[in-house]
Amino acid sequence: MICPNCKSENELTWKRYVSSPLGRHICDQCQSKFRMIHSIKYHLCILGIWCVSGVPVFAIAIYYGASFSVAFALYWIVGLSVGFPLDKKIDNTWRGTKLRD
Protein backbone atom coordinates (compact mmCIF):
# COMPACT_ATOMS: atom_id res chain seq x y z
CA MET A 1 0.00 0.00 0.00
CA ILE A 2 1.24 3.47 -0.82
CA CYS A 3 0.53 6.27 1.64
CA PRO A 4 -1.22 9.12 -0.21
CA ASN A 5 0.43 11.71 2.06
CA CYS A 6 4.14 10.81 2.09
CA LYS A 7 4.18 8.24 -0.76
CA SER A 8 5.95 5.64 1.37
CA GLU A 9 5.17 1.97 0.90
CA ASN A 10 3.42 0.20 3.78
CA GLU A 11 3.32 -3.58 3.95
CA LEU A 12 -0.13 -5.04 4.57
CA THR A 13 0.50 -7.80 7.08
CA TRP A 14 -2.13 -10.29 8.20
CA LYS A 15 -2.40 -8.47 11.54
CA ARG A 16 -3.12 -5.17 9.77
CA TYR A 17 -5.51 -6.84 7.33
CA VAL A 18 -7.56 -8.53 10.05
CA SER A 19 -7.59 -5.53 12.40
CA SER A 20 -8.92 -3.21 9.69
CA PRO A 21 -11.77 -4.95 7.86
CA LEU A 22 -12.95 -1.73 6.18
CA GLY A 23 -9.51 -0.88 4.76
CA ARG A 24 -8.60 2.01 7.05
CA HIS A 25 -4.91 2.16 7.92
CA ILE A 26 -2.23 4.38 9.49
CA CYS A 27 1.02 5.08 7.66
CA ASP A 28 4.16 3.64 9.27
CA GLN A 29 6.23 6.72 8.33
CA CYS A 30 4.08 9.85 8.74
CA GLN A 31 1.24 8.44 10.89
CA SER A 32 -1.42 9.88 8.58
CA LYS A 33 -4.70 7.99 8.31
CA PHE A 34 -5.69 6.66 4.91
CA ARG A 35 -8.13 4.19 3.46
CA MET A 36 -8.36 1.86 0.51
CA ILE A 37 -10.40 3.01 -2.50
CA HIS A 38 -13.47 0.85 -3.16
CA SER A 39 -13.86 0.87 -6.95
CA ILE A 40 -16.17 -1.01 -9.29
CA LYS A 41 -13.14 -2.98 -10.51
CA TYR A 42 -12.45 -4.16 -6.95
CA HIS A 43 -16.05 -5.18 -6.29
CA LEU A 44 -16.30 -7.06 -9.59
CA CYS A 45 -13.05 -8.87 -8.81
CA ILE A 46 -14.31 -9.98 -5.38
CA LEU A 47 -17.65 -11.06 -6.88
CA GLY A 48 -15.76 -13.04 -9.51
CA ILE A 49 -13.66 -14.76 -6.85
CA TRP A 50 -16.81 -15.83 -4.99
CA CYS A 51 -18.50 -17.05 -8.18
CA VAL A 52 -15.48 -18.94 -9.46
CA SER A 53 -14.91 -20.63 -6.11
CA GLY A 54 -18.61 -21.45 -5.70
CA VAL A 55 -19.33 -23.23 -8.96
CA PRO A 56 -16.98 -26.20 -8.38
CA VAL A 57 -18.04 -26.52 -4.73
CA PHE A 58 -21.75 -26.74 -5.57
CA ALA A 59 -21.08 -29.03 -8.54
CA ILE A 60 -19.05 -31.46 -6.44
CA ALA A 61 -21.56 -31.32 -3.58
CA ILE A 62 -24.47 -32.05 -5.94
CA TYR A 63 -22.51 -34.84 -7.62
CA TYR A 64 -21.88 -36.56 -4.27
CA GLY A 65 -25.47 -35.99 -3.11
CA ALA A 66 -24.77 -33.54 -0.30
CA SER A 67 -27.62 -31.45 1.07
CA PHE A 68 -27.91 -27.78 0.20
CA SER A 69 -26.88 -26.73 3.73
CA VAL A 70 -23.69 -28.82 3.54
CA ALA A 71 -22.93 -27.44 0.07
CA PHE A 72 -23.52 -23.88 1.31
CA ALA A 73 -21.25 -24.42 4.34
CA LEU A 74 -18.52 -25.79 2.06
CA TYR A 75 -19.03 -22.81 -0.26
CA TRP A 76 -18.36 -20.39 2.61
CA ILE A 77 -15.33 -22.31 3.83
CA VAL A 78 -13.76 -22.52 0.36
CA GLY A 79 -14.82 -18.95 -0.52
CA LEU A 80 -13.24 -17.50 2.61
CA SER A 81 -10.07 -19.59 2.35
CA VAL A 82 -9.61 -18.43 -1.25
CA GLY A 83 -11.11 -14.94 -0.91
CA PHE A 84 -9.18 -13.60 2.07
CA PRO A 85 -5.67 -14.28 0.71
CA LEU A 86 -6.62 -12.91 -2.72
CA ASP A 87 -8.25 -9.83 -1.19
CA LYS A 88 -5.14 -9.18 0.91
CA LYS A 89 -2.97 -9.56 -2.20
CA ILE A 90 -5.21 -7.14 -4.13
CA ASP A 91 -5.11 -4.61 -1.27
CA ASN A 92 -1.33 -4.85 -1.03
CA THR A 93 -0.63 -4.51 -4.76
CA TRP A 94 -3.04 -2.61 -7.00
CA ARG A 95 -5.77 -0.99 -4.91
CA GLY A 96 -5.39 2.75 -4.53
CA THR A 97 -5.46 4.75 -1.32
CA LYS A 98 -6.69 8.15 -0.26
CA LEU A 99 -6.50 10.20 2.91
CA ARG A 100 -9.29 9.62 5.40
CA ASP A 101 -11.74 12.38 6.14
pLDDT tens-digit series, residues 83-92: 889 989 998 8
Query: pTM of the entire structure?
Result: 0.77
Cα 40 to its chain centre, rounded Å, is: 14
Helix H or strand E segment including 33: strand 33-36
DSSP label at residue 32: -
Backbone angles phi, psi at 89, to 5 degrees: -65, -40
What mean pLDDT comes out for the span 71-80?
Answer: 87
DSSP helix/strand/coil, 99 = strand
For residues 35 and 22, is the Cβ–Cβ distance under 8 A? yes
